[in-house]
Chain A
């Protein structure tokens, strides 16, 4: 288990997963499927391919952009967030939480230049070390350990400069990228994985160069590159966006390095690099009075630019290179009584169809955000009603249709003051003990967020 321990405690340069993201404590946060850890979008740590690279890139950004920020009459804003959680897992009940300060700074030296940055300060309390095996059916009682430590962090999350030209916008630096039209899942988003407990939480910045070129009417081209030394191995994505009548659509093509971990070989820490080529699109509009959207991604996998896979057996090789599809369908509507309802269905061809076929690596993929989901078919429903003055009642429910497990999570949100929101969110899981969500019992999250 040593290599597995190392996986989550040390962002080793050799351990890189999915579109330029390192395996980090942040990505080891089991929030993706663990109900009481709501805010998966929290950045625990930078997602660089190694620490040296990270430090050098950030240093360049700071050296270049900091003086501009300081001398251009910066504006400071942000929020303070405090969260306390309790959850029942098996026979144990755990209490934990965090305090987070996000400090944003923005400067506009002139109408054509925007410089932005934000730093996150995070301090954890209560239970801060988690054993991933406690969340994997069949592994809880084996005594195995794969610890995740949530350490206090200070993170330069975003730091970028945006230049506005008449013909294009150019953004350089660490920046938040949120492509796709899906609410809970985005098959065409190669940069992020969302938490089902809070899909609208902010995402961590991505180091990239982005060019957005407006064309005629509602048409535009949007391109993002996260360059490395070899262009073929750089992360690249381009979108062609447009709008016709009440519909918006986007076509996209992406190429990036993806990592798969052939656990079956027993050499966990030898991630296999694969070139992943995504072709997809999305459409959003209106049908029969409902807001509707669809997002589709076809993923082709190629080992050739990284040479052969030394750890791959004849059995594993096809598994690593089999193309797969992901798609999401969604609809929403606000009724006359202000009740808002949203529903989504997600299919992930890379997911596992039967729970009996799940391996440890499948769980790790899902926890790490390598895949958008553990299994193949999911639904997500969100209902919200602004019931009283500044008080809304809502509920999220999501289900894994392959193992018949799920979570229902009611929430009360109170806009107590102009800049302060307080919420209480409960969660109750269903399903058998050997299912994705069924092994978790219940959770409760208290959250206070105050903006300044």
Chain B
């Protein structure tokens, strides 16, 4: 009997630990929460329009760094994006346009003044050697359309109490990843961390979203860090300036703007 308190304590600890993920809600209630959270996160991550400038710093596994600067535009709730690099000199003017949530991608090379349409396999290519793919940067509402969400419970992440949502890819929709686990703040649904998994359920990449500021009513992560666990590289994207009140001119997301 002298071990009873210890067993009770252990049992309580295990129960509490488990409850952090396995929540007591009924499955239909869990699904409802998951859908609501994903919808709210998508709303935050895909504002109607956005115009920003930022930097992208890539650190390779050997510790070498490269920093790029870019102007970025998105419209129609992230369904269309245009990104143009302004620095360094070697890639100045290079730009890419994504339409239909990155199902269609065009790149522009200023040296040859040529626009090239990329096939969909290019969606999974790294943008300028970074740890972000074209699909990561132009995904739009893919969380809602290409995944089935599941609420895993509440958990503290990056010092914030978060909804924890698992997203399982719908195979017929050609999801960018087979599985994603996402943490979104309970206070305002702002995502703070995302883990990406491969077919073997291996956590290949992790995205941390920090320095979240309220910009024109929208919680905005001013710093995003993507870590590639396989290649041991990381890419930090920092937003220097952003506005959601920008209205794209007619036909802005077109080949014409790529070549500007």
Instruction: Name A residues whose Cβ lies closer than 8 Å to a Cβ of B.
Output: 77, 79, 169, 175-178, 181, 200-203, 212, 214, 218, 220, 241, 243, 246, 248, 284-286, 289-292, 332-334, 336, 338, 386, 389-390, 418-421, 451-452
Interface: B136 (CB within 8 A): no
At the interface with chain A, which of B5-13, B19-27, B35-43, B109-117? B109-117
- Chain B, residues 59-85, CB within 8 Å of chain A (1/0): the string is 011101011000000000000000000
The answer for the CA separation of A290 and B118 in the assembled complex, in Å, is 10
Top 8 nearest A-B pairs (CB, nearest first) are A291-B119, A451-B89, A389-B60, A451-B90, A286-B119, A176-B113, A419-B90, A178-B114
CB B125 to nearest CB in A, in angstroms, measures 6
Chain A proximity mask over B218-260: 1 for CB below 8 Å, otherwise 0: 0000000000000000000000000000000001001110000
Given A200-B112, A220-B256, decide whether A291 and B89 contact each other with a Cβ distance below 8 A. no
* A421 and B90 form a contact (CB under 8 A): yes
Shortest C-beta distance, B239 to chain A (Å), equals 21
With A220-B256, A285-B119 already in contact, the answer to whether A246 and B104 are too (CB < 8 A) is: yes
B residues within 8 A CB of A418?
Answer: 66-67, 88, 90
The reply on B120 being an interface residue by CB < 8 A is yes
- Please indicate the chain A residues that have their CB under 8 angstroms from the CB of B124 in the complex: 334, 336
Q: Identify A246's interface contact among B67, B111, B120, CB under 8 A.
A: B120
- With A and B bound together, what is the CA distance between A248 and B107 in angstroms? 13
- Are B122 and A291 in contact, CB atoms less than 8 angstroms apart? yes
Contacts of B119 on A, CB cut-off 8 Å? Answer: 285-286, 289-292, 332-333
Q: Is the CB of B117 within 8 A of A285?
A: yes
B59: nearest chain-A partner, CB-CB: A389
Chain B's nearest CB lies how many Å from the CB of A7? 29
Min Cβ gap B80→A in Å is: 12
A220 adjacent to B255 (CB under 8 Å): yes
A-B contact pairs, 7 of them (CB 8 A): A79-B89, A178-B114, A214-B251, A334-B125, A389-B61, A451-B92, A452-B89
Cα distance, A241 to B117, chains bound together (Å): 13
Q: A77-B89, A332-B119, A452-B89 are in contact. Are A178 and B64 (CB under 8 A)?
A: no
How far is A292 from B89 in the complex, measured between Cα atoms in Å? Answer: 31
Residue among A176, A203, A334 with the most chain B CB within 10 A? A334
Give, as a whole number of angstroms, the nearest-CB distance from B119 to chain A: 3
The answer to whether A289 touches B89 (Cβ under 8 A) is: no
Report the bound CA distance from A289 to B111 in whole Å.
28
Q: Within 8 Å of chain A (Cβ to Cβ): is B121?
A: yes
Note all chain A residues with C-beta closer than 8 A to B256: 169, 212, 214, 220
Closest CB-CB distance, B73 to chain A, in whole Å? 15
B117, B126, B129, most chain A CB atoms within 10 A: B117
> Is the C-beta of B103 less than 8 angstroms from some C-beta in chain A?
yes
Report the separation of the CA atoms of residues A202 and B255 in the bound assembly, to the nearest whole angstrom: 19
Q: Which residue of B lies closest to A41 (CB)?
A: B112
Interface string of B116-153 (1 = CB under 8 A from A): 11111110111001000000000000000000000000
Looking at B66, B111, B122, the one whose CB has the most chain A CB atoms below 10 A away is B111
- CA–CA, A243 and B89, complex, Å: 32
| Contact between chains at B254 and A214 (CB < 8 Å) | yes
Are B112 and A178 closer than 8 Å at their CB atoms? yes
A338 and B131 CA atoms in complex are apart in Å by 13
Cα distance, A202 to B109, chains bound together (Å): 10
A220 to B129 CA separation, bound complex (whole angstroms) = 32
Considering the complex, give the chain A residue whose CB is closest to the CB of B62. Answer: A389
Partner of A178, one of B89, B90, B113: B113
How many angstroms from the CA of A241 to the CA of B255 in the assembled complex?
A: 11
CA distance in complex: A290, B67 (Å)? 32
CB of B41 to closest CB in A, whole Å: 28
